[in-house]
Amino acid sequence: MLRAILLGPPGAGKGTQAAKLVEKYNVPHISTGDIFRKNIKEGTELGNKAKEYMNAGKLVPDELVVELVTSRLSEDDCKKQGFLLDGFPRTVFQAEKLDEFLKENDEQIDIVIDFKVAHDVLVERMTGRRVCKNCGASFHIKNIPPKKDGICDRCGNELVQRADDNLDTVTNRLNVYDKETAPLFNYYEKSGKLESFDGEKQLDSLFEEICKAIGDR
């Protein structure tokens, strides 16, 4: 069983590595970003609240996020298989609340996986992302371009840039991340759980390094 946290700024490649880790270790992938986007698409009250913050490049308030995540971690699949947290915690307050929740259930985090990527690389990655309005397929104008510019390979519908992927919002998100999450590294370094990796490495090599670090624990 694996209980792990993925840390790193938006665009660091957490989602890509998460998919590979989920397949290898058979753990539920708990992504706050995915949960918020799902709620936004469905127009729920939580989604509408989250949308205001996300579109402005701000972090969703701690209390809202903690309640959402701990509720998800209480479900049977997480109890039996562990979990991979992506996008949570982002503040020391969230980390403390997570540890309190796990301690109450006689559980603890095994490893905190941190991705290091230069700001200019992150900006290029994020502003170049495109998503299909119809089927949700993801592309990138440089790294994973569609066969026809602006058109989805899968269903032929229009590709768009998400509101939170424009340059101004991306820059603000990165600045907010740096400011809000910097204390997290000290928190997890003190606990001995933190392992940092070069997020600009080739995907498979990076994945091998992560698996080795997990295996060494």
Residue 148 lies in a domain: no
**What pLDDT, on the 0 to 100 scale, is given for residue 217?**
64
**What pLDDT, on the 0 to 100 scale, is given for residue 58?**
81
pLDDT in tens, the chain (217 residues): 999 999 999 889 888 899 999 999 999 999 887 777 777 888 888 788 888 887 888 878 898 888 888 888 988 999 999 999 998 998 899 999 999 999 999 999 999 999 999 999 999 999 999 999 999 999 999 989 999 999 999 999 999 999 889 999 999 989 988 888 888 999 999 999 999 999 999 999 999 999 999 987 6
The domain containing residue 99 runs over which residues?
A: 2-118+168-215
Cα separation, 159 vs 153, in Å, equals 10
**Catalytic status, residue 79:** no
Three-state SS string over the chain comes to CEEEEEECCCCCCHHHHHHHHHHHHCCCEEEHHHHHHHHHHHCCHHHHHHHHHHHCCCCCCHHHHHHHHHHHHCCHHHHHHEEEEECCCCCHHHHHHHHHHHHHCCCCCCEEEEEECCHHHHHHHHHCEEEECCCCCEEECCCECCCECCECCCCCCEEECCHHHCHHHHHHHHHHHHHHHHHHHHHHHHHCCEEEEECCCCHHHHHHHHHHHHHCC
Residue 156 lies in a domain: no
**Catalytic status, residue 217:** no
**What pLDDT, on the 0 to 100 scale, is given for residue 94?**
94
Catalytic residue among 51, 97, 130, 173: 173
Residue 48 lies in a domain: yes
Residue 128 lies in a domain: no
Among candidate residues 171, 14, 178, the one with its CA nearest the CA of residue 85: 14
Residue 161 lies in a domain: no
Cα separation, 14 vs 191, in Å, equals 22
**What pLDDT, on the 0 to 100 scale, is given for residue 44?**
80
**Catalytic status, residue 90:** yes
Residue 14 lies in a domain: yes
**What pLDDT, on the 0 to 100 scale, is given for residue 48?**
87
Catalytic residue among 58, 162, 193, 201: 162
**Phi then psi dihedrals of residue 216, to 5 deg:** -75, -10
**What pLDDT, on the 0 to 100 scale, is given for residue 54?**
78
Catalytic residue among 37, 97, 129, 130: 129
Instruction: Fill in the amino acid letter for 110.
Output: D
Catalytic residue among 14, 97, 125, 130: 14
Cα separation, 91 vs 203, in Å, equals 27
Is the Cα torsion angle 83, 87, 90, 93 positive or negative in sign? negative
Residue 133 lies in a domain: no
Instruction: Fill in the amino acid letter for 176.
Output: V
Total count of domains within the chain:
1
Which CATH number covers residue 60? 3.40.50.300
Q: What is the pLDDT of residues 129-177, one digit of tens each?
A: 999 999 999 999 998 999 999 999 999 999 999 988 999 999 998 998 8
Residue 127 lies in a domain: no
**What pLDDT, on the 0 to 100 scale, is given for residue 70?**
87
Catalytic residue among 3, 37, 51, 90: 90
**Catalytic status, residue 129:** yes
